[in-house]
C-alpha cells in the first residue's frame, strides 16, 4: 500500500475457513483493480476506493446486504463489476433495495448467481446475468 499499487488480488481459496479482509485495505486510495476471493466482509465502517474501476468479488460473504451496498458505494468510479457466489448473513434483510441509486459509471456488469440489487446495476451498458 505504501508504494501505491494499482492492482490487488486478495485470494484466500487455499484457506479452509473464511478470512476477514483487513480493514486497512478498505481505504487503499491508489487501487484501480481489486479482486477478492473467498473472504468474509463484516464490521467495517467505511470503504474508500476513489480510483477502483474494476472489481471482482468471488465467494465473498457479507454480513448483510447493507454491507454489500456500502462496499459498492465506496467505489464511486466503478466501471466493471464481476460477482460470483456472493452471500449475505442473515439471509433475509429488511434493507430497502428498490430505492437505491444506480452506480453512475458502470459500463459492464457480470453477475453469476448473485442476489445483487438490480437498481444498483440497471444503468450499465452491458449486463450479463447467469444463474449458477
Question: Average pLDDT for residues 52-59, to the nearest whole number?
Answer: 95
Q: Name the most confidently modeled range: 28-37, 38-47, 84-93, 96-105.
A: 28-37
Q: What's the angle, vertex CA 56, arms to CA 52 and CA 62, rounded to 5?
A: 100
Q: Which helix (H) or strand (E) holds 41?
A: strand 33-41
Describe the chain by its helix, strand, coil percentages, rounded to 5: 15, 30, 55
85 pLDDT more than 80: yes
119 pLDDT more than 80: yes
Residue at 121 is within a domain? yes
Residue at 70 is within a domain? yes
Question: 27 vs 100, which has greater pLDDT?
Answer: 27
Residue at 2 is within a domain? no
Count: domains in the chain? 1
pLDDT digits (tens, 9 = 90+) for 13-54: 888 778 888 888 898 899 999 999 999 998 888 899 999 999
Q: Could you list the residue range(s) of the whole structural domain that residue 80 is in? A: 7-130
Residue at 1 is within a domain? no
The model's pTM? 0.86
Amino acid at each position: 500500500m505504501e508504494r501505491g499499487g494499482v492492482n490487488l488480488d486478495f485470494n484466500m481459496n487455499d484457506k479452509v475457513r473464511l478470512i476477514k479482509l483487513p480493514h486497512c485495505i478498505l481505504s487503499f486510495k491508489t487501487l484501480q483493480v481489486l479482486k477478492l476471493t473467498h473472504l468474509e466482509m463484516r464490521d467495517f465502517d467505511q470503504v474508500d476506493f476513489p480510483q477502483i474501476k474494476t472489481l471482482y468479488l468471488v465467494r465473498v460473504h457479507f454480513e448483510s446486504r447493507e454491507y454489500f451496498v456500502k462496499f459498492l458505494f465506496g467505489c464511486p468510479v466503478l466501471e466493471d463489476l464481476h460477482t460470483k457466489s456472493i452471500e449475505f448473513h442473515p439471509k433475509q434483510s429488511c434493507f430497502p433495495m428498490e430505492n437505491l441509486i444506480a452506480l453512475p459509471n458502470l459500463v459492464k456488469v457480470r453477475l453469476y448467481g448473485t442476489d445483487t440489487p438490480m437498481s444498483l446495476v440497471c444503468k450499465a451498458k452491458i449486463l450479463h446475468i447467469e444463474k449458477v
